[in-house]
Structures are given as structure tokens and as C-alpha cells.
Amino acid sequence: MKKGFTLVELLGVIIILAVIASITVINITNSMKNTKQKLYEQQINNIIDGAKTWASGNVFDLPINDGEAIYLTLKELKQDGFVEKDITNPLTNKLFNDQLQVKITKVDNNYSYEIIE
């Protein structure tokens, strides 16, 4: 009696390993995309927080009437030290463009902050 595996048994093992590998790769890829998206949202929130800090020290430059808006560039926030100079977009692995703008709008006696890329 011969000892060893038949060709069919070997092919079966290879197919099972291929299925497990494809499932693993898909899960890892999705996990990386989700992580990058969360990091992107965190960086956007850091920029908005920098704009809010700027606004707290520049209240006389803020809009007075509802619906009015002002725009700050990322470059201005960097120069004034409100955000890091090397803030990176995790989705592209490049620095955010210095021309990225934060729109500060007065709405019902409050201010809303919006990123305009």
C-alpha cells in the first residue's frame, strides 16, 4: 500500500487555502480603507478645531449677520500655528493643499464650519 496524497486531495487543499486567502485579503483591504477614512475625518476635525481656535481669538473678524461667511485657508491656519504644518491627507498620503478653505458662516447666532476642498 502506497503512502501519500492523491492529486485530488492536494487540489482540494490548495482550493481551500485559496478561498481562505481571498477572504483574508478582502477583509484586510476593507479594514485599511475604513481606517484611512477615519483618519481623514480626524484630520478634517483637526483643521476645523484650528479654525474654531482662530475664531475665538479673532471675534471681531467673524461675520456679524446671519448668512454671512468668511473663508480661512489652511495656509493661514498653518502660519498662525492653529494646525500642524505637515498635516497629511491619509487618503492620498500627501499634504493637504494649502488652498483648502474653511468656511465660517453665521447661522442663528452660532457659527458653522465647513471644509471646502
In this model, does residue 113 exceed pLDDT 90? yes
In this model, does residue 3 exceed pLDDT 90? no
Question: How much is the pTM?
Answer: 0.80
What pLDDT is attached to residue 1?
A: 63
In this model, does residue 106 exceed pLDDT 90? yes
How many other C-beta atoms lie within 10 A of the C-beta of residue 105?
A: 17
DSSP string of 43-103? HHHHHHHHHHHHHHH-GGGS--STT-EEEEEHHHHHHTTSS-TT-EETTTTEEPPTT-EEE
Domain ranges for the chain, please list them.
9-116
pLDDT digits (tens, 9 = 90+) for 34-53: 999 999 999 999 999 999 99
pLDDT > 90 fraction of the chain, expressed in percent and rounded: 91
